Amino acid sequence: MIETKLREDICLLAKSLFDRGLTHGSTGNISARTEDGGLLVSPTGTSFGRLDPGRLSRFDEKGVLIDGDPPTKEMPLHATFYETRSTAGAVVHLHSCHSVALSMLPDTNEDDFLPPFTPYAIMKLGKVKLLPFFLPGDPAMGDAVRGLAGKRSAVMLAHHGPVVAGRDVEAACNAVEELEETARLALMLRGMPARTLDADQVHSVVTKFDIEWDS
């Protein structure tokens, strides 16, 4: 994909997430690989609803900022996903309401954050790891992701928001939306005798669609 089109796609998809309330104010950040191995990243303090394609932070293949505005303070988080997952072509981080709410509940499964309600969350996300609270911008977030050794495409930062890597920017955005919708289902069904997919059904989805499933 030519860089001009990639810049436009990043801003278009970010605005779509913002317009539907999946992140708000100046929260969230997004990045994508360029054809030459560099990165395009949303600048610090910007709103997903008003990103300017010409002002995105541009890094070269060595990780040096060569153009655009200063990048998000969450760069260590993005960089670690690219470092540990060779398939990562884009990373999206949101401050989405339902997933953040679910992260605050004491009985949430830290190793498998999302209940297996539908096959689609399994297909798009695999298992989601719930990470502890970190101060925004803390490089320790990157260290925590590095500790997963590339086995997870998505993590949930407690009290903060989800971070998802995908093969490209559209796939990453679709996956983070699936995460938020599954978290919303979990809250809607809380306290009800809801049926989740059983272990055999989960296994069948993982096998049928060749899902990376860290046990």
- Would the pLDDT of 65 be above 80? yes
Phi-psi region of 30 (alpha: psi -120 to 50; beta: other; left: phi over 0): beta
Q: Residue 53: exposed, middle, or buried by beta-carbon count in 10 A (0-12, 13-18, 19+)?
A: middle
- Contact by Cβ (8 Å): 77, 163: yes
Cα gap 132→166, rounded to integer Å: 22
Looking at residue 194, what is its pLDDT?
A: 95
Q: Residue 199: exposed, middle, or buried by beta-carbon count in 10 A (0-12, 13-18, 19+)?
A: exposed
CA dist list (Å): 121 to 31, 162, 165: 22, 13, 14
Q: Where in the sequence numbering do the catalytic residues fall? A: 74, 120
Looking at residue 213, what is its pLDDT?
A: 87
Determine the average pLDDT of the residues in 41-58: 98
- Would the pLDDT of 215 be above 70? no
Domains and CATH numbers, the chain: 3-208 (3.40.225.10)
Q: What is the band of 1 on the pLDDT scale with cuts at 50, 70, 90?
A: confident
Cα gap 205→61, rounded to integer Å: 36
SS3 percent helix, strand, coil of the chain, rounded to 5, is 40, 15, 45
- Would the pLDDT of 135 be above 60? yes
pLDDT, tens digit (0-9, with 9 covering 90-100), for 74-88: 999 999 999 999 999
Query: What's the pTM?
Result: 0.96
Residues of the chain with pLDDT > 70, as a percent, come to 99
| E strand or H helix that includes residue 179 | helix 169-188
Average pLDDT, the chain: 96
* Strands in 34-147 per DSSP E: 39-41, 57-59, 65-67, 90-93, 129-131
Looking at residue 15, what is its pLDDT?
A: 98
